[in-house]
Each structure stands twice: as C-alpha cells, then as structure tokens.
Structure 1
C-alpha cells in the first residue's frame, strides 16, 4: 500500500440465526482457522456451559453488572433471549474494529441484529440457516445442555426466528461447519463502503 492509499476498511459482518443453528460453532471455526478475523465477545447473564471460558466464549456477568453496562451506554445492543437470560454486545470494540482494516464479525441473536441494523446499517447482515427444520430440532435436542422445558422454549423461539430470514442481506446454510465458516470469511473480504 502506498502512502497515499487510504487504509482498507473491512465490512462488519453481523451473523444471526435461530437458536441451535450453530452460530457459536461456526464462529469458533472462523476463530480457529482465521485468527486475523476479529470476533466480538458478547456479555451474558447466563451461566457458562461446560467448556466455555470467560472472555473467550462470552463475558459472564451478574445481572447488576449487566445493568451497569446498559446504564452507561456501553452496549451496542442487548436483549432478553428465550425469556430468561440477557445478552449484549460491548460497544467500544465494535466501534474500533472496522476501521482497523481487520475482518470483523458479530455473532448475535435476532433481536440484537435488528438493533445493530438501526445504528450500523452499513454492516452486512448474514442469516445462518439450518439445512432443515428437522435438523435444527435434532441439533437442539442432541446437544443435551438444556432441560426439557428449556428445549421446548428454544424450539418455539427457533420457529419464530426462522421466519426472519428475509430481513437479512445474505443467507448461509450451515450444512457443514467448516464450509459455512469459509463462506462467511469470503463475505468479509469484500471492502466495506466508505461512509466517512
């Protein structure tokens, strides 16, 4: 790059989709094979699942800590998911990421994606879709991390979330995790519009 070339801006990808579609798994695959991609780490009030690390998978916070972040305006978006736990995206790192020139991605729920669209319409909104409704149900039941009542609540949420596909710019079908991750990374390599 010559001295007169402006720094490259990469487009922010906002990845959302129904519960149990594999958003976290696809994001982990991107992280594993493409360390140059910056991926936002959300805050949540839910308890960690086995194997989840604070600051890697999520920032696990108390309800009081979440309230303080929201009151200070430190969250780009926040939502109550499945009627129980709160999730949010820290604003500061997201504001800095696209200008750094590194590919960047938010992996969030549908409610959060809608909020981000209001403040960052220049982002590319990607809907991660299961190969079929039956496969989504199989994945949710198969992971075995929720009680029967939690699974039922998540399945109902997923049915509603699947109907939101038309709100997104692009759909990626999660037939296979590595292929879905590579498709996302390819989308990140398109230069973002310069809105300055």
Structure 2
C-alpha cells in the first residue's frame, strides 16, 4: 500500500519540486544586446581581455571584487570607422545561479547602458528593472560603486544587486587597466 501511495503522489510531487527551481530566462542574445546598445550600424571587433594571475590581482586591487575568469568577452565598437565604445559580457552569481549581463562603455569608459542577458534565479529578477539598471549609467572607474550609496538596493534581490554592482566595478577596473589606451 505504501509503495502505491508513493507512486501516485510522491513521484509527481518530487518532479514538481525539481521543476520549480529551474527558472532560467534568456532575455537577449549577445547580438540583440549589441544592436540594442549600439545600434544597427555599429560594427564589432572581438577584443577579449585575457586575465592572468597578475591581472587578477590588479583588477581586485582596483575594484575590490574577486576575479574568477581567465577571459572577459569584449568587443571594440566602431561607428563609421571611429571607436564608439566597448561592449563587454560578464557573469556574476546571483544568490545561487549565474546572471549574465552586458555593459556598453563609451570610448572614455563611462557606462552607457547595462542589460541583463540571462537570469537563472527564480527570485531577484527585479534587477532587470530599467530604473534600477539606469543607476549605473554615466559612472566610470573613478568612483567605486557601493550598494546602498550610489546604487540603491532592491528588497528581495539584495544578493543579485550586490553582485551585479561588484561585477560592474570589476568591469570598470578592467577597462581602466587594459582597454583605456586602445
């Protein structure tokens, strides 16, 4: 009798519990984000930043954020043959899963736009809110962004807010150290 009950009730309930934790949403592809942030006429030249041990130390010293990758996917962006900025993809952990986001930087390293590409958590998705993301626009590496100061927190999304803010500081430090003079 107990085996029959488990087959009828337990297995379906267990599968629902597993399914409820799978909530990845891809909002933009890399190509869609590039067009959204720089327009259809822009051209993109791959310019990945290779991050060795010394670079990790320098980026951490400048940003205060840990660096756990060896390559930062980066593109130089041109409009009419002139450098119009940089397009950078980064990932940070939300609370449990990764958030993939893109940053558009001007040629002088100011944030033009921030977009969430893939959000894998089933809570904290409010970081996609345009008003929250707009707080980053205009900032550069001269100011270390702090959650609760320059960047307002979102209740219920604190870990995502904190980690995106740290990631943005890391990207800005990377620009300052490795892309600024290109």
TM-score (norm 2): 0.27
Larger relative contact order, structure 1 or 2 (CA cutoff 8 Å, min sep 6): 1
Structure number with the higher strand fraction is: 2
For the pair shown, the structure with the greater C-alpha radius of gyration is 2
